[in-house]
Structure 1
Amino acid sequence: MISRLDFLRAADDSVTDSDVLRLALQHAMAELGALGGCVHMRGSGGELHLVSSAGLPAVSVRVWEVLPGDSASATARAVACDGCAWDPPGSRPTDAVVPPAGSAGRAAVPLHGARERAGEDGRKGAGESVGVLTLLTGRHSQPTPDDWWFLRQVAGWVRDRLTARPFPDPAASAPGPPLAGSADLLPAGAGELARALWNAEDAVLRVDTAWRVTAANPAARALLGHPDEAAADRVLWREPGPWQTPDAEERCRLAAARGRAVGFDAVLPATGRCHHVRVLPVSEGAVVHVMEVPPWRVRQADEVAAIRDSAERARRTAELTTALAAARTPKDVVEAVAARVLPPFAAQGLLVLVREDDRLAYIGSVGYPRAFLEHMGGPRGLPMTGRLPAERALLRDEPLFYASREEWMADNPYGDRPPSTKHAWAFLPLTASGRTFGVCVMAFDTERRLTPEERTLLLTVSALVAQALERARLSDAELTRARELQRDLLPRHLPHLREVTAVARYVPAGQGSDVGGDWYDLIPLSAGRVALVCGDVMGHGLSEAATMGRLRTATHTLAALELPPDELMGHLNDIVSDIGPDAYATCLYALYDATTGTCTVVRAGHPPPLVVHPDGRAGYPDVPDNPPLGGARPPFETAELVLPAGTLLLLYTDGLVESARRDIDEGMVALARLVEHADRGDLGRLADHLVGRLLPGGQPVTDDAALLVACLHALPRADVASWRLPDGPRAAGEARKHVREQLATWHLDELTVTTELLASELVGNVVRHAKGPIGFRLLRTGALVCEVSDASLTMPRIRRASETDEGGRGLQLVSVLAERWGSRFTSHGKTIWTEQPLTPTQDTVAAALLSLADAD
């Protein structure tokens, strides 16, 4: 539907009124699969006059010439009620027409005029119905709401095109002056004027509302082919004359229905002579005046038309140049050529082919069926053999023009037949930077011999197209490489964690847009803690994508150091500031602790997270908004949220919720509403649903969009055990005792020896080098975590002990025994932690001792 409406709206001002009606009927019939259709205009007495028809047999057209305005048919009801109307198949209003193939339904939509009328409440409504478009369908049910919408859009297009010259007010229409025969109403001297018209060389005739001839002067009778007999009661359209030319009938009917005189030129098919036809609406019909146009005027008109066509082509060439300069992709180039080159040359097909190694591949086409494109080998193309005209034009760098299928066959030594739907072609080589890399093929549905001027113009156009296509292909290749780089900088897969289940979606900007700097991340930390990150580097391009990669790497590094969120954001701010004075980025960092259910959030110029509670309530928490990175001054304000298990946390970039038609606040409201009413059982389907609804067409226009959806899980109480250890040497023994008892409870006895050694080393370090109180904790997450905390702010570090040193090997032993280890600051001091897999694959104690022996 949309493509048909776009095609109609692309029609330029040269389209005549009759073309407007014919196009509207043809596209409406094709879209609804109708059997036929017609357009009526409302007369001064309320009756409906047929002005255009398609697909109707002659008997139907005669019955539908004039319909009473108070008829019970859908056609009349649509005008009377100023709305859509439907007659199901088998209904029999007084003016019903039953096609020979059987009963048909009738769908009617009104046509409005340019005037506005006031409703009963005094407000101005739509223009008054001045006509109606009716379709005869073979359906047994009325059109769908989408069909009615399409028909109303078509009717609106007809209104816009015809009301550029406004419809007259039917109520204000006054009858035209009567013809001779009503002498009592004519002014003095009218009789002489009537006799002069009767004896003039020009043809003058009068028709009634059914277009039957009621009076004709001798010249008109001769034109009609009945010089020696009366022409009364003959239907105008069945007689010879200029009304047999294309569009003539529709123009005459439209002039009579609109109550305004209209004139046009028509060439008689039999004689080739040009006549000027003028239709003057009068009461109960119209007067038609036909005057032969002298040859000099025809030549003058041809010259004016040639000048006008040349000016129009120059205008379109200028427009094409502008469009090609703005083209970012090969698809943009093909669309620009199809819209601005095919219409002025009356071409119906376009095929753009490029050489890729030893193959000829198409990168865009218009007017060719899918079967033909598949025969061409699809986007990969066909191996080049030199047989096809397109290949010869490319290899020789010479244009080829064929005015008919016979010329194609005569110039084709290999006997390859042309496409069956085309009858004339122009093969234009595409050359840029001294290299011919492709060919542009224009095709015509009928035989067409291009003039030398047209060929020269097409060669000029092909040079413009070649330059634009070369730029677009280079730009497209650069954009593809940039997007590949961007994809490599983003996480390929999110980690599977016990604390958080998460999915992410990243949608690049629309075709032709530069890459952006949106990113997201899920970073596992120690002791059931997880960092969720979402950020956006302001601007678009490779440098912004590279900055995004730097920030993502820095975030990973800083998060691994267990820095508090506000301190981490301060370091990111320094990194962005060092890039340059114009570098800015927004970021949201959320640190979730599955052991306590708390989430510490800090944001720098970034939209706040969306929190969806387990009962489905969605809202945006009050998180302080710090300035964007690169323009902020630490310290950064944070917010601590208490989130129960099962809470959804959504982090996103502004490209998801903001667009040219929707501000960010409206988008955030829409996001919350969508989540509340969506199925939240499957996070992947939820993320796809949100992206699909917030980004119509599945792709933002000018900005990237990132979305991270995370479901938070709490660590069960049974998987956390903590103790306060005594100060002094007894602390290590107490720690080993707790390890043995707790691991026996968790059925992890195989980890007891290793964990006792780790606990002894960590607690011994605190006793020797720090100060109490000493906290000890064991956690069973996806691994076994052992933590020792104290009140000191001095962080431990590994140093290499010499052969004579009696100490200094404790942390070396810890690094060998544990899969990971580290330390972090707390509000009361620091915590040192180790992490072991729950299923060890070797004797870690023996391996650790062997490693230390090798080091010595």
Structure 2
Amino acid sequence: MVIDELLGVTWMTAITLNGRGHITQWDDTAAELFGVGRLQALGRAPASLLRLPREHQGAFEPGLFGHVWCGACTLPRVDNGVLTEIGWWVYPIAVPAGGGPMDAGRGGDDMRVLVLAADLRRLREDGPAITLGDLPMPAADTAARRAAGVRLLRVEPALATPAAPGSTPFAGPFTARLAALLPALEPGAAEEIASQVLGLGCPAVSLGLTLRLPIVPHAERPAIPEPRRAAPEAPPPGAVPLPRREGNGGRPSGPAPHEPGPPPGRDGQEDRDGRDAAAVRESLAYLSEAGQQIGGSLDHLQAARKLAEVLVPRLADFASVELLERVVTDSAPPADDVDETTRMRRVAVVHNDDHGRWDDLVPEGESLQMPSEAPLVKAMRTGRPVHIPDVGPGHAAEFAASFGDRDLRPLFAGRALLIVPLIARGRVLGTFKLLRKPDRPGFGELDRAMVDELARRAALCIDNGRLYRREVQVAEELQHSMLPDDPPDVAGARVRYRYRPAGQAVNVGGDWFDAIPLPGCRLGIVVGDVMGHGLTSAAIMGQMRTAVRTLAAEDMRPARLLRQLDGLARRLGEDYLATCLYAVYDPVERTCTLSNAGHVPPVMVSAYGDSRVLGVPSGVPIGVGGEPFETVEVPVEDGSQLVLCTDGLLERRDRDIEQGLEELRTRLTGAAHDLDDTCDSLLDALAASTPADDIAIVAVGFDGIPKGDVAVWERLEPRPSTVPWVRAQVAGRLAGWGLASLADTVELLVSELVTNAFVHGAGTIGLRLIKGGNLLCEVYDDGTDLPRLRTAEATDESGRGLQLVSHLAARWGTHRAGRGKVVWFEHSLPGHRPR
């Protein structure tokens, strides 16, 4: 890489020294490379300024200015000590007359030194490795330069002889780039300096890239020369077996029987060279194609299957792959130690024998447990292949005994056997074994090298597939653990939902949904979508869902709940962004109250089958802040349905969200009463088979609570005589509902709550009984102080009422109403379990 290319990929600076070896030019790039400012550097010698290694202390001595040299070393920056790798090229030059700022500090000496310094660390990061060493340079007196202890970088030999300006193709670009590094010069000065540098040799870095190829070179030649005449076209990978290899490093031992031998002399040598080169090209093409097939899937079992398929018939006549049982089943990391107790499973078998010959004797999916002396266990424990060129009758019987009572001796006898362990990241994943028929030679060195290369690639692909599968499992488990279980059983409403995760683990998102029973037999419905994908979005989704459940328990109106959720998200971090739609259904009042935070609107289906998209204000997503949320109250009739979803159901490549929403509304027209059928039909019609985003659907059927199951007493007088009157009214209503057996307990609980409202409440008092899944009793008053459960001492005159309620009721609680508060309890109905 010459300087014309070097300047485009790394930092380079031009530093100039006067005759006394003091710095006269130091730019911002030099300050960044060495950690020394311009004012600190000017007028000082480099050896006293830079923290050079000991062997480089004499590199800038004036006595060396008569020589051209270049070198490289690692040195710490002056300001912070961070190591950096610097290469430099030092040129003695004569400054042109009237050279401008370069004359500063000249001291009457016409000789100057130009030092080109480059950041080699960037070349190591951004390109191939740099090869440094004591390379001879075709310039004057290398002995003096070696005495200075400078390791040499290469200078292009073709440019190392004196040349006039413009005689080399590098002159023009080099002059322009060098002029940009140097300070302002008189016209023509840059060209004259560039010509001096080019005349001494164009600076260059020797770059090298090391590749490990599974090719065994000829012992008598360091490389394979290109043939002078075209070689026959190599067969495609996998089309025909390799040419027969018999010892001699896996090289062809001679011509095929049907081919004439090469003539003696140079032409015969060229024919052999051509055949060798063609064989190498064919082998590399096969490895490339086989590697692509093995690595074409993220399924670790599919990668193992592909390994067996690419090996037969190209390198073997029979191939089977066995993986550790825990790698196959649960994708867990394999054990560090492998012994006879380690269970394995055969995951792939491929052969070119008669169809079905080995299918029953060595079936895929079989679980194996090998004895410790088995070659398969030996290969895994040592990490080295086991090669037997010719399996005799004794070995065949020994191998077959490892597989139980099945006679596998014909599979092994008289064949060449090669067992190779599959090792990735220092852990054994399993093995695969190869067999060749007796009419084929054993595995030569080239064959084993190719098998070893495929084993490394396959092991890495299998391990990557295992890790990917584990990542998918973790993401799905995390996401499912944060989603609700079965829908709640509430009075006056039916709830069903569906969830379909994204098709790939990387697309696992933060869609969430929930149905939350609220006081007063009401139902809270929420659906949301955290922006982004991955485990982080799934974790944020879990926090959002927990927050919504906590806030919903406070019986907030939807707009206020979203404001609280928005404030919480902004306090948690900038990444907490989500869309959310929250609705509350009241089966007694038959209303649905909704508020939206940037989510897709829901679709309402009337009892007669008409569908419409609800006009809910869109709002801004949760976490944005600064904008209010609005609440919309919609009257609903019994038999109607509300369908909420996330954008994964609506948006696809062939349609946007608006089109998807309209298609959703159309398909919900005339929807069936069965909510399960509604959800399933929507998934079948609108969702892709492998969705790019998560899909969540919540369908709610509004049935309402019959008016005859609700009893209300309003504007009760706050006087003692009201309590027995209320008890009598409650007892009568329970008898009318066929719940007279509950009268004693319920009357006692009602009297405690009404008395508590008289004593500690304020304003008007109301009472409501609702017979739904349980018996619900609510007592209203205009007071703002919420009662709390406390322990009453023996001498206390109050505090026992709520203790009694807590012991006798299935559930109880308090919440604030639009004005005042509500204290409520639930009592289980006969034959019903408390929710």
What is the TM-score normalised by the length of structure 1?
0.56
For 1:312 and 1:586, locate their aligned partners in 2 and report how far apart those are by CA, in whole Å.
51
**1:430 offset after TM fit, Å?**
0.8
For 2:358 and 2:608, locate their aligned partners in 1 and report how far apart those are by CA, in whole Å.
56
Report the counterpart of residue 743 of structure 1 in structure 2. Answer: 734
The answer to whether the aligner puts 1:604 opposite 2:597 as a matched pair is: yes
The answer to whether the aligner puts 1:309 opposite 2:282 as a matched pair is: yes
CA change 1:828–1:376 in 2 (3 A) is farther
**1:301 offset after TM fit, Å?**
6.8
User: For the Cα contact (< 8 Å) 2:291–2:457, is it kept in 1?
Assistant: no
For 2:566 and 2:350, locate their aligned partners in 1 and report how far apart those are by CA, in whole Å.
51
User: For the Cα contact (< 8 Å) 2:308–2:321, is it kept in 1?
Assistant: no
CA change 1:331–1:631 in 2 (3 A) is farther
Report the counterpart of residue 493 of structure 1 in structure 2. Answer: 486
Percent of pairs with identical residues = 34
For 1:467 and 1:739, locate their aligned partners in 2 and report how far apart those are by CA, in whole Å.
74
| Structure 2: runs of 5+ lacking an equivalent | 1-234, 237-255, 262-266, 327-340, 402-406
Report the counterpart of residue 93 of structure 1 in structure 2. Answer: none
For 2:582 and 2:392, locate their aligned partners in 1 and report how far apart those are by CA, in whole Å.
71
The answer to whether the aligner puts 1:613 opposite 2:612 as a matched pair is: no
User: For the Cα contact (< 8 Å) 2:311–2:319, is it kept in 1?
Assistant: no
Q: 1:764 is aligned with what amino acid?
A: T
User: For the Cα contact (< 8 Å) 1:355–1:438, is it kept in 2?
Assistant: no
CA change 1:554–1:413 in 2 (3 A) is closer
CA change 1:555–1:394 in 2 (3 A) is same
CA change 1:386–1:471 in 2 (3 A) is same
- Deviation per CA, 1:146-170: give whole Å up to 9, x if none: xxxxxxxxxxxxxxxxxxxxxxxxx
Report the counterpart of residue 204 of structure 2 in structure 1. Answer: none
2:380 pairs with one of 383, 394, 400: 394
Alignment of 1:242-641 (within 5 A): 302=275, 305-313=278-286, 315-316=288-289, 319=292, 323=295, 328-331=298-301, 333-334=303-304, 337=307, 351=321, 353-354=323-324, 356=326, 358-363=342-347, 379=365, 381-385=367-371, 390-391=376-377, 393-399=379-385, 412=399, 414=401, 416-417=408-409, 427-441=419-433, 451-510=444-503, 512-513=505-506, 515-633=508-626, 635-641=628-634
- Deviation per CA, 1:75-134: give whole Å up to 9, x if none: xxxxxxxxxxxxxxxxxxxxxxxxxxxxxxxxxxxxxxxxxxxxxxxxxxxxxxxxxxxx
**1:511 offset after TM fit, Å?**
5.0
CA change 1:841–1:514 in 2 (3 A) is closer
For 1:448 and 1:565, locate their aligned partners in 2 and report how far apart those are by CA, in whole Å.
78
The answer to whether the aligner puts 1:711 opposite 2:698 as a matched pair is: no
Q: 2:699 is aligned with what amino acid?
A: V
User: For the Cα contact (< 8 Å) 2:317–2:351, is it kept in 1?
Assistant: no
Secondary structure at the aligned position of 1:824 is classed as strand
Paired residues, what number? 550
Secondary structure at the aligned position of 2:519 is classed as coil
Of the structure 1 ranges 455-464 and 794-803, higher mean CA displacement relative to structure 2 is found in 794-803
User: For the Cα contact (< 8 Å) 2:305–2:321, is it kept in 1?
Assistant: no
What is the TM-score normalised by the length of structure 2?
0.57
For 2:274 and 2:828, locate their aligned partners in 1 and report how far apart those are by CA, in whole Å.
92
Secondary structure at the aligned position of 2:699 is classed as strand
Q: 1:797 is aligned with what amino acid?
A: R
Secondary structure at the aligned position of 1:538 is classed as strand
CA change 1:346–1:371 in 2 (3 A) is closer
For 2:759 and 2:751, locate their aligned partners in 1 and report how far apart those are by CA, in whole Å.
12
**1:565 offset after TM fit, Å?**
1.8
**1:592 offset after TM fit, Å?**
0.9
User: For the Cα contact (< 8 Å) 1:821–1:835, is it kept in 2?
Assistant: yes
1:772 pairs with one of 763, 772, 775: 763
Secondary structure at the aligned position of 1:725 is classed as strand
Q: 1:484 is aligned with what amino acid?
A: E
Q: 2:482 is aligned with what amino acid?
A: L
**1:350 offset after TM fit, Å?**
6.4
For 1:670 and 1:367, locate their aligned partners in 2 and report how far apart those are by CA, in whole Å.
52
Of the structure 1 ranges 749-758 and 337-346, higher mean CA displacement relative to structure 2 is found in 337-346
CA change 1:619–1:375 in 2 (3 A) is farther
CA change 1:780–1:668 in 2 (3 A) is same
Report the counterpart of residue 831 of structure 1 in structure 2. Answer: 822
CA change 1:271–1:313 in 2 (3 A) is closer
For 1:666 and 1:417, locate their aligned partners in 2 and report how far apart those are by CA, in whole Å.
66
For 1:675 and 1:657, locate their aligned partners in 2 and report how far apart those are by CA, in whole Å.
13
**1:621 offset after TM fit, Å?**
1.1
For 2:735 and 2:284, locate their aligned partners in 1 and report how far apart those are by CA, in whole Å.
93
**1:760 offset after TM fit, Å?**
2.5
User: For the Cα contact (< 8 Å) 2:646–2:697, is it kept in 1?
Assistant: yes
User: For the Cα contact (< 8 Å) 2:301–2:462, is it kept in 1?
Assistant: no
Cα RMSD (Å): 4.3
**1:332 offset after TM fit, Å?**
6.2
**1:270 offset after TM fit, Å?**
12
**1:714 offset after TM fit, Å?**
0.9
For 1:714 and 1:271, locate their aligned partners in 2 and report how far apart those are by CA, in whole Å.
92
CA change 1:396–1:807 in 2 (3 A) is closer
Report the counterpart of residue 655 of structure 1 in structure 2. Answer: 648
Report the counterpart of residue 720 of structure 1 in structure 2. Answer: 710
**1:472 offset after TM fit, Å?**
3.5
CA change 1:363–1:547 in 2 (3 A) is farther
User: For the Cα contact (< 8 Å) 1:490–1:519, is it kept in 2?
Assistant: yes
For 2:436 and 2:546, locate their aligned partners in 1 and report how far apart those are by CA, in whole Å.
57
For 1:340 and 1:748, locate their aligned partners in 2 and report how far apart those are by CA, in whole Å.
76
User: For the Cα contact (< 8 Å) 1:573–1:632, is it kept in 2?
Assistant: yes
For 1:805 and 1:696, locate their aligned partners in 2 and report how far apart those are by CA, in whole Å.
67
For 1:793 and 1:299, locate their aligned partners in 2 and report how far apart those are by CA, in whole Å.
101
Report the counterpart of residue 690 of structure 1 in structure 2. Answer: 682
Report the counterpart of residue 661 of structure 2 in structure 1. Answer: 668
User: For the Cα contact (< 8 Å) 2:312–2:351, is it kept in 1?
Assistant: no
For 2:525 and 2:747, locate their aligned partners in 1 and report how far apart those are by CA, in whole Å.
33
**1:271 offset after TM fit, Å?**
6.7
For 1:685 and 1:673, locate their aligned partners in 2 and report how far apart those are by CA, in whole Å.
16
CA change 1:656–1:377 in 2 (3 A) is farther
Report the counterpart of residue 279 of structure 1 in structure 2. Answer: none
User: For the Cα contact (< 8 Å) 1:720–1:779, is it kept in 2?
Assistant: yes
Q: Which has the higher contact order (CA 8 A, sep 6+)?
A: 2
| Structure 1: runs of 5+ lacking an equivalent | 1-245, 248-268, 275-293, 843-856
For 1:690 and 1:387, locate their aligned partners in 2 and report how far apart those are by CA, in whole Å.
59
User: For the Cα contact (< 8 Å) 2:496–2:675, is it kept in 1?
Assistant: yes
**1:338 offset after TM fit, Å?**
7.2
CA change 1:454–1:631 in 2 (3 A) is farther
User: For the Cα contact (< 8 Å) 1:376–1:382, is it kept in 2?
Assistant: no
User: For the Cα contact (< 8 Å) 2:316–2:435, is it kept in 1?
Assistant: no
- Deviation per CA, 1:701-732: give whole Å up to 9, x if none: x4333222322221111111212234331443
User: For the Cα contact (< 8 Å) 1:519–1:706, is it kept in 2?
Assistant: yes
User: For the Cα contact (< 8 Å) 1:350–1:443, is it kept in 2?
Assistant: no
Alignment of 1:222-237 (within 5 A): none
For 1:706 and 1:505, locate their aligned partners in 2 and report how far apart those are by CA, in whole Å.
6
For 2:317 and 2:588, locate their aligned partners in 1 and report how far apart those are by CA, in whole Å.
71
User: For the Cα contact (< 8 Å) 1:354–1:363, is it kept in 2?
Assistant: no
CA change 1:632–1:752 in 2 (3 A) is same
For 2:314 and 2:662, locate their aligned partners in 1 and report how far apart those are by CA, in whole Å.
48
**1:595 offset after TM fit, Å?**
0.8
